[in-house]
């Protein structure tokens, strides 16, 4: 029971003692307020008001590492007989393992294409985002509302990074460069 309480608290840093107690009750576990508080405080987990003041980007990442992915575009430009052509490549990264998945390539990643990518990534059989709860993405307009809605329908919360924060997102580099900042 103690491990379940701690896991719920770490995976849901904005939940208070009562919310965790209610979630456990829904799972058939009975635990008193005092026991809940003792378990959490003994492991350095403060009540919600203190948690909210202390939640940093590092804390969020640490709490969600196993259920976190990141998605981003990169481009390549290719000289063809018709001139210079820009290809948009979409990659998804599993942050815990740094496993990278090539999600697709398009000359014009429009809304219909992004919706299909969303369906592919959340496919119940072999979607790369199976088991993920959060996906980091920048504020690129190609991550349209309908793409984010597909993710949310599968209980994957898209998290848009703050403006002008290039060091918070995964990136695809040239050979020899790191995959994550």
Give the mean model confidence (pLDDT) for residues 118-130. 94
With bands split at pLDDT 50, 70 and 90, how would you rate the model's confidence at 178? very low
Q: Are 31 and 24 in contact (CB under 8 A)?
A: yes
Q: Which two tokens stand for residue 157?
A: 């919360």
With bands split at pLDDT 50, 70 and 90, how would you rate the model's confidence at 32? confident
End-to-end CA distance of the chain: 37
Q: Quick check: 175 pLDDT over 50?
A: no
Look at the pTM and tell me if it is higher than 0.75: no
User: Which residue, chain included where needed, has tokens 């998945």?
Assistant: 101
Give the mean model confidence (pLDDT) for residues 95-104. 90
Tell me what percent of the residues of the chain surpass a pLDDT of 70. Answer: 86
Q: Are 88 and 106 in contact (CB under 8 A)?
A: yes
> Could you tell me which residues are beta bridge partners of residue 18?
none
The mean-pLDDT minimum among 9-23, 88-102, 114-128 falls in 9-23
Q: Are 72 and 171 in contact (CB under 8 A)?
A: yes
CATH 3.40.50.300 fits 65-168, yes or no: no
Q: How far is CA 73 from CA 25, 139, 148, 154, in A?
A: 42, 11, 15, 22
Q: Can you give the residue ranges of every domain in the chain?
A: 2-53, 65-168
């Amino acid at each position: 029971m103690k491990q379940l309480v701690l896991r719920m608290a770490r995976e849901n840093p904005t939940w208070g003692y009562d919310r965790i107690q209610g979630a456990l009750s829904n799972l058939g576990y009975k635990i008193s307020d005092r026991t809940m508080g003792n378990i959490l405080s003994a492991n350095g987990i403060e009540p919600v008001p203190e948690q909210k003041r202390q939640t940093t980007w590092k804390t969020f990442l640490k709490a969600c590492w196993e259920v976190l992915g990141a998605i981003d575009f990169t481009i390549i430009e290719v000289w063809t007989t018709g001139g210079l052509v820009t290809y948009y490549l979409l990659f998804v990264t599993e942050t815990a393992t740094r496993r990278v998945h090539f999600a697709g390539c398009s000359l014009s990643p429009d809304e219909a294409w992004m919706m299909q990518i969303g369906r592919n990534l959340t496919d119940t059989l072999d979607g790369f985002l199976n088991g993920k709860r959060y996906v980091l993405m920048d504020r690129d307009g190609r991550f349209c509302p309908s793409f984010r809605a597909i993710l949310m329908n599968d209980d994957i919360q898209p998290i848009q990074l703050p403006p002008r924060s290039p060091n918070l997102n995964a990136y695809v580099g040239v050979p020899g460069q790191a995959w994550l900042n």
